[in-house]
A = this chain, B = another copy of it.
């Protein structure tokens, strides 16, 4: 927790916050070994960052006070990530990784090789997704909450979502066996498609390429989704 993210329910009044959840209280006590008088980094959700003083910490609440929060959050990546829904444990970690890396727009998509049961996972409940996004923001000292859209049909995605997405930026499909290697250090608005374990099926790749996306690959190694996502984002931006 490199930043305490203050959501509207945390902020008691202007310049003061009250934390009441055991996760953060335990972290402050056991990891930060925080004492009243300590200075901590805080940021308002979707807002500015600065230093606050811990004015009290007890078993059920902690209070923070600050003069001025003036620092902007770190820049976001210029990407909309379209990710075939990973299995639940991998999803949890992947949401944290990509949020820490600065992704702000994500679509979790059904494809042929996504197991249908994944869509029933409790990890997809909005409050669980929110929790993982918060962990990613706390890690990277960011405040800007990503938006996550769930699309449970690939055809519906092609018809209802893809054209608007591709109007925003360059479509790149990461898929083994494509002719071009993943480009490096591009500085442009991108829509990045990453398949499930086992990959997109050929028909899905064809649909994306026909819609105007470019295919690219990360080399001969088969990577777990969470490794591939980080590797792709880091190489692209």
Contact = CB atoms under 8 A, between A and B. Distances in A.
Interface of A: 2, 74-75, 97, 100-102, 139-142, 184-185, 219-224, 227, 230-235
Given A219-B74, A221-B140, A227 B184 contact: no
Contacts of A220: 74-75, 141
Contacts of A223: 100-101, 139-140
A117 B235 CA distance: 35
A224 B231 CA distance: 14
Most buried by B among A97, A140, A184, A227: A227
Nearest to A234: B231
Given A231-B231, A232-B234, 20 more contacts: A2-B222, A74-B221, A97-B224, A97-B227, A100-B222, A100-B223, A100-B224, A101-B221, A101-B223, A101-B231, A102-B221, A139-B222, A139-B223, A140-B221, A140-B223, A184-B184, A230-B231, A231-B233, A234-B235, A235-B235
Contacts of A101: 221, 223, 227, 231
B230 A141 contact: no
11 contacts: A74-B220, A97-B227, A101-B231, A140-B221, A140-B223, A141-B220, A141-B222, A184-B235, A230-B231, A234-B234, A235-B235
Nearest to A185: B184
A137 to B, nearest CB: 10
A100 to B, nearest CB: 6
Contact of A230 (B74, B75, B185, B230): B230
Q: Which of A142, A223, A231, A234 has the most CB of B within 10 A?
A: A234
A130 B97 CA distance: 26
A11 to B, nearest CB: 24
B221 A230 contact: no
